[in-house]
Chains A and B, each alone.
Chain A
Amino acid sequence: MNGDLRELYQEVILDHGRSPRNFRLIEHPTGFAHGHNPMCGDALTVFLIVGADGRIADVAFQGKGCAISVASASLMTEVVKGRSVADAERLFAAFQRMCTDDSFDPDTADGDDRDALERLQALEGVRAFPIRVKCATLAWHTLNAALAGESGATTE
C-alpha cells in the first residue's frame, strides 16, 4: 500500500468513518441543513443548537457517505461544539485551506484554532486526492448552511 493511501486512510479516519461520533438526530434544533454531493450521492443532515450566548451548545449529524465524508462530519462535530458561531466559521475557512493548500501551516492559527486544526489534520491527506476534497468539506458546507439558516448545501 502506498504512502498517499496510508495518509488518506489514517486510523483516525477509519475509526470515525466506522463509528462516527455525534451520529444522531437532535429533536429540537435551532438550525439544521441537508448536504448533498450530487457526484457521489453522499447525503447528510447537520443539526445544531446555538445557545443564547451565541455558542454551539450541541451539534450532530446523520446520513450516508464515504469514509472521508463521514469521518470529516464526525470530527467536525467534535471540534465545533462549544465554539461561537464566528469561531466555527473561521475554523471552516482554515480547514478548507488545509484541504487544498500545500503551504498551509496550522501553527500560524490562533491557539484555540490550532488545537482543532491539529485534530483535523487527519484529513489533510485529501490534498493528494483533489476529487475527494468535496467529501471532506461536505459536512462543513452543511454546517455553514445550518448556521446561516439555509436549508441545504451542495458541493458541485
Chain B
Amino acid sequence: MTLAAVSLADNRGRFDVERARADFPILKQRINGRPLVYLDNAASAQKPTLVLDAMRDVYETTYANVHRGVHTLSQRATVVFEAAREKVARFLNAGSADEIVFVRGATEAINLVAGSLGRRYLAAGDEVVISEMEHHANIVPWQLLREEKGIILRVVPIDDDGVLKLDAYRALLGPRTRLVSIAHVSNALGTVNPVAEIVREAHRAGAFVLIDGCQAVPHYPVDVRELGADFYALSSHKLYGPTSVGVLWGRGEVLAEMPPYQGGGEMIASVSFDKTTFKKPPHRFEAGTPAIAEAVGLGAAVDYLTGLGLAAVHAHEDALLAYATRRLGEVPGLRIIGTAPEKAAIVSFVMDGVHPHDIGTIVDQYGVAIRAGHHCAQPVMDRFGVAATARASFALYNTMAEVDALTEALAAVRELFPA
C-alpha cells in the first residue's frame, strides 16, 4: 500500500494515529535533537496517559494490601485489583476471571507452568515440544526442567522465511509428547504461527499446549477459547501496560489440578505446622503481595486497546509493515530476516558490511530507537547465520512518516558504511 493510500484510509476515520499519539506523553520529546521515533515496541511499548492515571489514582485514593484487611481501603483495593482480572478475562475471552493468574510477566508465566505442571506431571522420557523461533524465556525453563526431571526437549525447525515447518511438527508429536509450548508471534522474525492448528494437532496427540502470546496480544484480537490452548502467557509491558505484571491464562480444569508454584501468603486456605491447604486458582498461584497498581494499569491498558479496537490497530500496523518492508527494501545491501507471509509489524534486518550495533548507534543519533542484538532468541540468529540483527518493531502510535525517518537514518548508515 502506498503512503497516499494509507493517509486516505486514515482520513476515512479507520484509525486516527495522530489522535492516538496524543495519548502517549513520552512520544512528544526529542532525542538527540530529532523527534523521537520509537520503534522498539517488541521490547517494550510506551504507556498511554490512561494507564498512568489509573496507577496514580490507585496510589492516591485506593491503595492498601489486597485480600487481607477488613478496613475500607483494603476492600477498595481488592475490588479494583479483581476488576482488573475481570477486564483481562474479557479481553482474552477467558471462561472466567478465575482462569487469569497474575504473574510478573510472560517469563514467570512459562516458569509457572514448568514449575507446577512440569514438576508434578512430567517424568523422565516425557517430551516437551518447542520451536526454533522461541524466545529464551520459552527455552530455558524447559532446559531447567530437563536437568531436574530428565524430560526430552524437541525443537520444531523453521524454514528460510522463518515459517514453522508444520510437517516436521506433526512428525515430532508422539505418545511421549506431554506439552507443546510455542510462540504465537515470533519476537525476532514477526512470524505469526498457525496456533489453532498447532493446538489441534497437539491435543490429538494428548499433549497440553502453552502459547507464548507476548508479541500477539498487542497486535491481534486474541480469543483463548477459540484458540483452544491450555495456557496463554502475556506480559503487560508489551501491551502498553506497566512492567512487573503479566498474565497466565489457564484452562480452569487444568489449573485446578496443578500444585502451587510458590508458597507464601495469599495462596493458602489455612496453615498449620502439620498441614497447609491451598486456595483455588488463581490465588493458589499468587503467593505474596501482588503488583496491585500494575494490575490495575494493565486493566486500563486493555480498556484502552478495546476502546481503539484491535482490528483497527491491526489494520494500521499491517499498513506500516507493508510500507516499512518496501522502504527498507530500497536500502542498498539490506536484507530482511523473517519473510513469512503472515507477519506482525516486526522487521528484523541486517546490512552488508555493518554490524547491527553500529546501525543502532547511528540511527539513534537521528532520534530513531531500534533494537540491535540477538533479541533473546539466539537459536534464531544461528538459524539465519547471523550474530545479531537490527529490529524495527511497530506499535499503534507509529506513522508512515516514522518509517520514512528510519529509512533516512539508514541512508546515513550507508553513507558511513558504503555497501
Q: Which residues of A contact B (CB under 8 A)?
A: 1-2, 4-5, 8-9, 14, 18, 39-43, 64-68, 129, 131-132, 135
Contacts and interface: CB of A to CB of B under 8 A. Distances in A.
A102 B80 CA distance: 51
Interface in B353-391: 353-358, 361-362, 365, 372-374, 378, 381, 387-388
Contact of B355 (A5, A8, A39, A65): A65
Contact of A5 (B365, B372, B378, B388): B365
Contact of B387 (A5, A9, A41, A135): A41
Given A2-B32, A9-B416, A41-B374, 14 more contacts: A1-B412, A1-B415, A14-B416, A40-B356, A40-B357, A40-B372, A40-B374, A40-B387, A41-B378, A41-B381, A41-B387, A67-B358, A67-B417, A68-B357
A40 B373 contact: yes
A89 to B, nearest CB: 27
B277 to A, nearest CB: 44
A107 B381 CA distance: 44
A129 B358 CA distance: 11
A18 B417 CA distance: 9
B412 A129 contact: no
A8 B32 contact: no
B307 interface: no
User: Mostly helix, strand, loop or mixed at chain A's interface?
Assistant: mixed
Given A5-B365, A40-B373, A135 B357 contact: yes
Contacts of A41: 373-374, 378, 381, 387-388
Nearest to A64: B387
A135 B387 CA distance: 15
A135 B417 CA distance: 18
Contacts of B374: 40-41
B32 A66 contact: no
Interface residues of B, number: 22
Contacts of A14: 416-417
Nearest to A135: B357
B341 interface: no
Nearest to A68: B358
A42 B33 CA distance: 30
Contacts of A131: 361
Interface string B407-419: 0000010011100
Contacts of B381: 41
Contacts, number: 56
A6 to B, nearest CB: 9
Nearest to A38: B374
Contacts of B354: 67
Contacts of A42: 355, 357, 387
Interface string B333-360: 0000000000000000000011111100
B355 A2 contact: no
Given A9-B416, A14-B416, A41-B381, A4 B365 contact: yes
Contacts of B361: 5, 8, 129, 131-132
A18 B353 contact: yes
B387 A43 contact: yes
Interface string B393-419: 000000000000000000010011100
14 contacts: A1-B412, A1-B415, A2-B32, A2-B33, A4-B365, A14-B417, A40-B356, A40-B374, A40-B387, A40-B388, A41-B378, A66-B357, A131-B361, A132-B361
Contacts of A40: 355-357, 372-374, 387-388
Q: Report, nearest first, the 5 A-B pairs whose CB atoms are least far apart.
A: A66-B355, A66-B357, A41-B387, A41-B388, A66-B358
Contacts of B388: 40-41
A8 B32 CA distance: 15
Contacts of B412: 1, 5
A40 B372 CA distance: 7
A8 B357 CA distance: 13
A124 B358 CA distance: 16
B364 to A, nearest CB: 9
Contacts of A4: 365
Contacts of B417: 14, 67
A39 B355 CA distance: 13
B332 to A, nearest CB: 16
A9 B354 CA distance: 12
B387 A2 contact: no
